[in-house]
Amino acid sequence: MANRIPLYELHKSFGAHFGVFAGWEAPINYASVLEEHMAVRRNVGVFDLSHMGRLVVEGPDVFKLLDKLVPRVIESERGMMVGPTAFLNEQAGIKDDVMLYNLGDRWLVVTNAVNRNKIVEWLEHNIERLKLHAKVLDKTMEWVMIAVQGPKAVKAIESLGAPKEVLDLKPLRFLENVVFEKARARALIVSRSGWTGEDGFEIIVEASDGEKILRLLHDEGFTFCGLAARDSLRMEMGFLLYEHEIDENVSPVEARYWLVFTPGPKRDCIGCRALVEKLRKGVERVRVGLKLSKKARIVPRKGDKVFVEDVEIGVITSGAYSPILGRSIAQAYVDVRHALLGLKVEVERRGKRYSAKIVEPPFVQPTSTLGKPAL
């Protein structure tokens, strides 16, 4: 049976249509997915992301633990986010791509919903294996995570009116976070981040205070968005989704997921030696973007094949209709020798083939200057 996000009943009262995603019953859409998508690109949209895992890791050895587990140099300065980064297996496959929040005496790890339990076990296993003084607290059911995304995201945050400190977030830089320990909303964490390509903020707060925030945003008339719009937004930016573009059999090199590791990667983290070897030797397949012809009235789906003439060269991992481009787009893994920008290919869907060409994501440029493609 699927879990329900903590504020399920509130979203039901807002008119949300629910579906099951990664074991969670969560809002898929409220009204028109197209309207929700365009609200984020042109104005502002509000998402409840409480299906994602929220793990607090604390103790004197927390920095040592995380430094051993991620292939990226992590900041020791409080108030910085590290992400996206990843936990790797020994072969450099991606166990999960995560965001790390440095809260000073503790760190917050935000995981993909599907990997939450796996990452709890992974962290606890390595604490024991390395004999470190640290512990993991799963706050997923106690805290909620709200994203406010779009060119006018600052205006939306200002409309909350309280806590007072939230009103002065304009100086907050991309991937910076701040903790309001004495704010009305307890354990309030605000970061300038998101998964849409636009400017925006992600708020992590106890469920009771999250309900107040969502009611205020709803009363102000801001557009509430579900996971369907979130997926089309991330696709326009070429962002990666776990169990589609990445999993434990895919390395950051094949995924071209350069942000998850530091250039000239560390060699002492789990999976780092294998990652260095893949960078040195190369890989057989890589992730690319595909832009379909406007005449193609289909959306590619995971598992669809990619061809050059009659030679199968790859497979689709995700597809979506891009409202900005007015055509379908996709991500795929193709043989590295065919990973050529502008190469004309065909996507086979239900026995028919449709024209496309290989392009470099992001497929569109974000409206906001702070939007950052995670490639």
Q: Worst-scoring range by mean pLDDT, 26-40, 152-166, 286-300?
A: 152-166
Q: Which domains does the chain have, with CATH numbers?
A: 3-50+141-235 (3.30.1360.120), 285-375 (2.40.30.110)
**Segment 291-318, tens digit of pLDDT:** 999 999 999 999 999 999 999 999 999 9
Q: State both tokens at 12.
A: 């039901």
φ, ψ for residue 273 (rounded to 5)?
A: -65, -40
State the angle between helix axes of 62-69 and 116-129 in degrees (0 to 180), rounded to the nearest 10: 110
Q: End-to-end CA distance of the chain: give it in Å, rounded.
A: 35
361/359 Cα distance (integer angstroms) = 6
* 159-176: average pLDDT: 57
Residue 184 CB neighbours (<10 A): 14
* 3-state SS track over the chain: CCEECCCHHHHHHCCCEEEEECCEEEEEECCCHHHHHHHHHHCCEEEECCCCEEEEEECCCHHHHHHHHCCCCCCCCCCEEEEEEEEECCCCCEEEEEEEEECCCEEEEEECHHHHHHHHHHHHHHHHHCCCCCEEEECCCCEEEEEEECCCHHHHHHCCCCCHHHHHCCCCCCCEEEEECCCCCCCEEEECCCCCCCCEEEEEEEHHHHHHHHHHHHHCCCEECCHHHHHHHHHHHCCCCECCCECCCCCHHHHCCHHHCCCCCCCCCCCHHHHHHHHHHCCCEEEEEEEECCCCCCCCCCCCEEEECCEEEEEEEEEEEECCCCEEEEEEEEEHHHCCCCCEEEEEECCEEEEEEEECCCCCCCCCCCCCCCC
Q: Identify the band that residue 104 occupies on the pLDDT scale cut at 50, 70 and 90.
A: confident
**Segment 191-233, tens digit of pLDDT:** 888 999 999 999 999 999 999 999 999 999 999 999 999 999 9
* 82-106: average pLDDT: 93
Q: Identify the band that residue 176 occupies on the pLDDT scale cut at 50, 70 and 90.
A: low
Q: Residue 84: is the preceding peptide bond cis (ω within 30°)? A: yes
pLDDT score recorded for residue 181: 52
Q: State both tokens at 193.
A: 């981040």
* Beta-bridge mates of residue 110: 54, 99
